[in-house]
Amino acid sequence: MAEPAETIGPGQIRRAWPAQARYLVPLRSEIRSWLAPLALTEDAEDDIVYAVNEAVSNCMEHAYRPASVDDTVDVRFWSEPPAVFIEIVDHGRWQTPAGGATRRGRGIVMMQQLMGGVEIHHDRRGTRVLLCQPLPSAPHRTLPRTTSTSLSG
């Protein structure tokens, strides 16, 4: 079972989830509950939930092979004007899927299309995905839409 969510600072929530597909539905539900106080439109909320789901799914699929029951994905949420931020962290090793070309591999592009900003960093400690979405009441600011990928030993 997932650890209980913990408040780690004003407006900041963190929760560790088992890196297993059966936890995606409750994770999406919890993300929606975290977003509820922000009074986002249904479309904006859906965009954030889908992007988080994709990032977590990528952790499950790529970071932990072979998979074990101890594999986890940490999700941290906070908002501060002008945006909401969600960080997804695994503690595995990035591994390119074996096999030939597939119709998959569009997750990062999807996250970039759904969110105002996406940053990805992976190294020997794991992968961090930072998703950022402007809040509707915030003055319009351009947020980075690029993905920064850092590979270090």
Q: So what's the pLDDT on residue 4?
A: 72
Residue 83 has pLDDT above 90, yes or no: yes
> Taking Cα atoms as reference points, which of 102, 108, 131 lies closest to residue 58?
108
In CATH terms, is domain 6-93+116-152 a member of 3.40.50.720?
no
Q: So what's the pLDDT on residue 145?
A: 44
- Output the average pLDDT for the chain: 83
Residue 130 has pLDDT above 90, yes or no: yes
**Average pLDDT over every residue of 112-140:** 88
Query: Are the CB atoms for 77 and 34 separated by under 8 Å?
Result: yes
Q: How far is residue 151 from each of residues 66, 119, 122, 124, 127, measured CA to CA in Å? A: 21, 13, 6, 8, 10
> What's the pTM?
0.81
pLDDT tens string 89-120: 999 987 665 554 455 568 889 999 999 999 99
Contacts of 91 (CB under 8 A, 6+ apart): 63, 71, 72, 125, 126
Torsion angle of alpha carbons 17, 23, 29, 30, nearest 10°? -10
d(CA 128, CA 66): 20
The band of 65, judged by pLDDT with boundaries at 50, 70 and 90, is: confident
